[in-house]
Amino acid sequence: MKRSRRFGAVVVAGVGALTLLAACAGTPPTTAPSPDADLSFDELVAAAKAEGSLTLYGDGSEPTMQAWTKPFTDEYGIAVNILRLPESELFQRFSQEKSAGQNLVDVYNTANRVSMDNAVENGWIAEYTPENGEFFPEEHRRDGLYYPVQNGYFMVVAYNPDLLTEDELDLIHEDPMAAAGDPVFEGRVALGPPQAAQHAAAFYYLQTDRGTNWDTLQAIADNGATVQPQSIPMLQNVIAGEYAIGIAAANTLVASQRASGAPLEFAFPVQTTGGYFNTGVVADAPHPNAARLFMEWATTPEANAHLSEINQSTPTHSKVVDNRTIIDTDWYRDPNLDNVWFEWITDEEFIEDSGATGDFLDQWSEIFGYSG
């Protein structure tokens, strides 16, 4: 496919003006051409506008996805209809639809690379290479299929600073997982379950030294921690003051809540997990040209910088300067990247232990009395 080269040389030094420069030449056709057609960029814009909308499935924060995609709609007049579900539910729905021959979604976005790879192997992700694809981390993209256009995340311990003393804050920043098991926080801790998402399971797996040492989690359970069904309601309860600490949420989710005025901050555990939200065009998408135009837009430095501004995530596009405001706050501490486990995505031992034939999730549930 022939594409305009207008994206390639942009270096974003801030997250201000985000209006893209493309314009549609001529009158959009009434029938969109095949996505396999050799289109110029202007022709792709016209074809996408003729389709008029697209549907995006994602497991990130819905307010974040809405705010992130708004400039795309503003620029091209193409509505982005978002279905947000927890990771496990999202892939289950997507796989059921595709297995039944129902083509309802145009763009798939997930933090679970294992699910994305499964979708690729099943032929559910279309081959497409956006102009800016090469500027994303090579080890986290699958060229011609999906790209980490939604920025990286780390699993953190969130807390409500309005409910904590200076001494309690010091405990959290020194070692938030150990703090959650300290008697001073008895009955004040909530946590999301590992069953909700693969990256949550990986986080807890790491806290147990890969399933071999449960002392830290046992102390938290003995301290009267309460299991919440997902990270979003967990954070809402921390914001409301029902709990002081919330365990196992993505830093991007916490930061986006904080940006909306919520009393939330977060600390990185001594060891934590990280990953990326990968995005790809769905095979046999009902709006194939709109999906491909979205991928062109989503991989621009402007779109990546915009997302970094919204959820205070580290940019993944190599031409975007990290101008996050959160790094200048008095409470924020960078994670020790040497202690961040990214490889859980392909770690066979973890995948087996946390799968249907492993006993990790059962052990976790037994310790916390969880039956969900």
Q: Is the pLDDT of residue 6 over 60?
A: no
pLDDT in tens, 58-73: 988 888 899 999 999 9
pTM comes to 0.74
Domains, the chain, with CATH or none: 41-152+275-311 (3.40.190.10), 153-274+325-368 (3.40.190.10)
Angle, CA of 338, 344 and 346, to the nearest 5°: 125
The overall longest dimension of the chain from CA atoms, in Å, is 69
* pLDDT the model gives residue 32: 53
Span 356-371, pLDDT tens digits? 889 999 999 999 999 8
Rounded Cα–Cα distance for residues 33 and 36 (Å): 8
Paired strand residues for 275 = 153
Q: What is the pLDDT of residues 284-311, one digit of tens each?
A: 999 999 999 999 999 999 999 999 988 8
Q: What are phi and psi of 57, to 5 degrees?
A: -100, 135
Does residue 66 contact residue 60 with C-beta atoms inside 8 Å?
no
* pLDDT of 5 over the 60 cut: no
Q: What is the pLDDT of residues 254-285, one digit of tens each?
A: 988 888 899 999 999 999 999 888 999 999 99
